[in-house]
Amino acid sequence: MATLKDVAEATNLGLATVSRALSGNAGVLPETRKKVEAAAKALGYQPNALARGLRQSSSKAVGLVIPDLENEFYTSGAAVIQEVLANAGYRLILCCSNNDPTIDALLLDSLVERRVEAIAHVPSSAIGSDVIRSRNPSLPVVEYARRSNSEHVDSIVGDEALGSEKLIEYLVSLGHRRIAMIAGPRGQSTTTARLAGFESAVRKAGLDADQCPVLHGPYDPDWSEDATRELLLQDPQITAIFASSSRTVLGAFKALSGFGLHVPSDISLVGFLNPPWYEVALAPVTTYELPLKDMGAMAADLLLKRIAENEHPHAEWAAKTIRFEGRLIVRESATAPRVGSLELAEMPRAS
Amino acid sequence: MATLKDVAEATNLGLATVSRALSGNAGVLPETRKKVEAAAKALGYQPNALARGLRQSSSKAVGLVIPDLENEFYTSGAAVIQEVLANAGYRLILCCSNNDPTIDALLLDSLVERRVEAIAHVPSSAIGSDVIRSRNPSLPVVEYARRSNSEHVDSIVGDEALGSEKLIEYLVSLGHRRIAMIAGPRGQSTTTARLAGFESAVRKAGLDADQCPVLHGPYDPDWSEDATRELLLQDPQITAIFASSSRTVLGAFKALSGFGLHVPSDISLVGFLNPPWYEVALAPVTTYELPLKDMGAMAADLLLKRIAENEHPHAEWAAKTIRFEGRLIVRESATAPRVGSLELAEMPRAS
DNA sequence: CTGAAAGCGCTAACAC
DNA sequence: GTGTTAGCGCTTTCAG
């Protein structure tokens, strides 16, 4: 590949002049610039971002670590983060941790090695982004969607507790008193918050906690399907299910169909988040939507702001947690509880 | 941030020794290595990947450009590409072109500047990856999911033509003779192939092409909803719709519900690809599934292979196009055509 | 306005 | 085994 030197030799100019000309720097004769640009194009010159980054110690890159590339909860924000950053001239290095804390830490390390100027992070463990601070305390970090226990990073999250609470309140207002929750894996801030909201709402409504079971497991349709099945078998009095993620909703629907049960006539179901398909599900899903796009934009803006602040010897700022409220979306998957008990007909699954 | 020199000074060793020790290179006394590692850890030393990359002219990074971060057609492959590459010690720089050829070209350029060692690319225009070749002809490139007109790049795609054909054959076997297709935007290889399959099947089945209308538009639920509405209004004889992407299926369902129509009793609907929600849709969707995971793995393997070949003065290899077959998945959204004509009741939309 | 030279942090020859 | 040195490609003083 052609280098600056090649262009310099081709034009009989000095390295410095060529550099200035190509980086749109002032102080170069217009005709000189023309000549340089022509030669550069002719040689197919492409600047070497590694060399430039090394020299200026600024890579114009930002890292983003998310746990799952196929989950709208993360990609929806990632999309706007990438867009905002791109408009500001930064490139996004997007990594996927598969929800594995070890990989998570590895990826964070490698981003630091690549000298990214900031990191957006969906933490996969409570340790979260602390790895980074031990490497380079001045590197701006914002946590998105999930919160770790780190004290020194900003975080942008949804108000998940409020969401669950609203959902349960809604079910209670419909007349439900036996509500089950299919929760996520313990130890993640999202799970914790959603669970807290559930328990708080159950308490406030004066429901019997024993009649409102909670099952913990991964945010995975297959697990959720099994969990729902088991739940119904063990607790056929349940009249409503709170499936606390879109994957969970999916599994719940499948289990319910398997039993020949209809939503909402046999059992009510509410979800969380709002992927487009909720509108065309077996029963359009009543849910709590989080403003993921706004959250992503905010995260990106904050990142940019922190980068800018970093230029100047920054006054000690306090890390802030910004919690976005969402909204309850009432569709058709939840109605007043059925009368009578559940008839579970284990049907052969279609395909 | 600490540099190699800092570690060298701290240990009273030479730069080279420290470098060797830290990069696990042979020819260093075990105790020396210990000492170096201890000092490095104490100083919080992190290697500078920019400097290393510059020196070795190899960045251990691979670029991936996809048009949409929120579409499983791309992210599903992206996820496995990232995984395979990560296992081989490469970092993925994932960029999103928003289906805009200009941005696409920009991103490709910036990847070249960052000296990635290979690029996986979902082209957003027919020019596709040619930008890259003009910059650096020896940079391995593989197109994934879509094909451009580039002659010199490998491509991994699904057999979309076959898919449409199978789907239409299936509808015909059910008795349909008036089938509409909601197609994607003209000019993309996927659209072209899906359309070709449709037309070929229509012809082979001896259907009247006039009775099998095709609408072109973006792969977008809202557009698809409008298109479906219009279609039904203009052509109420239609008994089946081929919605040629998952977004399109979504819109079609919404339009159909809006008219108070039921799938499949009033009208049959078949989709394309196989996102998990197809199973829990208003009517579980009959579709043609592509092995996206296998395709992604293949793309990554090919990339790795090309990188390895690049080390040696490579014999001129021919670019290959690998086309993966998928499979027809029969669910419940298509049955024998209704008898009688359609009653369109424009109902107030719920929520 | 342009050129020469230093140096970003690292690795790979080459000496010792 | 270890140290010295050159140089990857670029930007940026500092002279001219």
pLDDT digits (tens, 9 = 90+) for B134-183: 888 889 999 999 999 888 889 999 999 999 999 999 999 999 999 999 99
Superfamily of the domain at A57-152+292-325: Response regulator (3.40.50.2300)
CA distance B32 to B23: 13
Nucleotides of C strand lying within 7 Å of any protein CB atom: 1-14
Residue B263 confidence (pLDDT): 96
Nearest to B243 by CA among B263, B224, B222: B224
pLDDT of A345 strictly over 80: no
Tell me the nearest-neighbour CA distance from B137 into chain A, angstroms: 9
Residue B172 confidence (pLDDT): 98
pTM over 0.95? The answer is no
Q: How far, in Å, is the CA of A210 from the C1' of nucleotide D5?
A: 75
> Of all residues in chain B, what percent carry a pLDDT higher than 90?
81
**CB proximity B269 to A under 8 Å:** no
B205 residue type, one letter: A
Tell me the nearest-neighbour CA distance from A210 into chain B, angstroms: 30
Least confident among A57-61, B36-40, B198-202, B337-341: B337-341
Relative to beta strand A118-121, strand A61-66 is parallel
Nearest to B272 by CA among B282, B287, B293, B286: B287
Residue A315 confidence (pLDDT): 64
Nearest residue to C4 via alpha carbon and C1': A14
Cβ neighbours of residue B325 closer than 8 Å, sequence gap 6 or more: B158, B159, B162
How many C-beta atoms lie closer than 10 Å to residue B24's C-beta? Answer: 8
Query: Where residue A157 falls among pLDDT bands split at 50, 70, 90?
Result: very high
Answer positive or negative: Cα dihedral of B129, B132, B133, B137: negative
Residue B54 confidence (pLDDT): 95
Residue A313 confidence (pLDDT): 60
Residue B346 confidence (pLDDT): 64
**CB proximity A47 to B under 8 Å:** yes
Q: Cβ distance B51 to A54 under 8 Å?
A: yes
User: CB B49 to CB A330 under 8 A?
Assistant: no
Q: Is strand D less than 7 A from the beta carbon of A49?
A: no
* Fold assignment, B4-47: 434 Repressor (Amino-terminal Domain) (1.10.260)
Tell me the nearest-neighbour CA distance from A322 into chain B, angstroms: 24
CA distance A133 to B21: 25
Q: What is the mean pLDDT of chain A?
A: 93
Residue located via tokens 């199973």: B279
User: CB B94 to CB A91 under 8 A?
Assistant: no
User: CB A276 to CB B221 under 8 A?
Assistant: yes
How confident is the model over A213-230, as a mean pLDDT? Answer: 97
Q: Is strand D less than 7 A from the beta carbon of B50?
A: no
Residue A350 confidence (pLDDT): 45
pLDDT of A343 strictly over 90: no
Angle at CA of residue B264, ends B260 and B268, nearest 5°: 105
Q: How far, in Å, is the CA of B5 from the C1' of nucleotide C16?
A: 21
Residue A351 confidence (pLDDT): 42
Query: Where residue B199 falls among pLDDT bands split at 50, 70, 90?
Result: very high
Nearest residue to D2 via alpha carbon and C1': B17
Residue B313 confidence (pLDDT): 60
pLDDT tens figures, A188-205 = 999 999 999 999 999 999
pLDDT tens figures, B294-332 = 999 999 999 999 999 887 666 667 788 999 999 999 999
What residue spans of chain A are helical by DSSP H? 4-11, 15-22, 30-43, 49-56, 72-87, 101-113, 130-135, 160-174, 189-204, 221-234, 246-258, 292-311
How confident is the model over A326-347, as a mean pLDDT? Answer: 88
Q: How far, in Å, is the CA of B144 from the C1' of nucleotide D14?
A: 51
Query: Where residue A25 falls among pLDDT bands split at 50, 70, 90?
Result: confident
Quickly count helices (H) and strands (E) in chain B: 12, 12
- The CATH code belonging to domain B160-289 is 3.40.50.2300
Partners of B120 in beta bridges: B64, B142
* Nearest chain A residue to B107, by CA: A91
**Residue A302 is encoded by which pair of tokens?**
């904050």
User: According to CATH, where is 1.10.260.40 located in chain A?
Assistant: 4-47
Partners of B193 in beta bridges: none
Residue B314 confidence (pLDDT): 61
How many C-beta atoms lie closer than 10 Å to residue A3's C-beta? Answer: 15
pLDDT of B214 strictly over 70: yes
A49-54's contacts with Cβ under 8 Å and 24+ in sequence apart are A49/B110, A49/B113, A49/B114, A49/B115, A50/B50, A50/B53, A50/B54, A50/B59, A50/B114, A50/B115, A51/B54, A53/A115, A53/B50, A54/B48, A54/B50, A54/B51, A54/B54
**3-class SS at B273?**
coil
Query: Where residue A347 falls among pLDDT bands split at 50, 70, 90?
Result: low
> Of all residues in chain A, what percent carry a pLDDT higher than 90?
81
Q: Cβ distance A334 to A287 under 8 Å?
A: no
User: According to CATH, where is 3.40.50.2300 located in chain A?
Assistant: 57-152+292-325, 160-289
Q: How far, in Å, is the CA of B57 from the C1' of nucleotide D1?
A: 27
pLDDT of B43 strictly over 90: yes
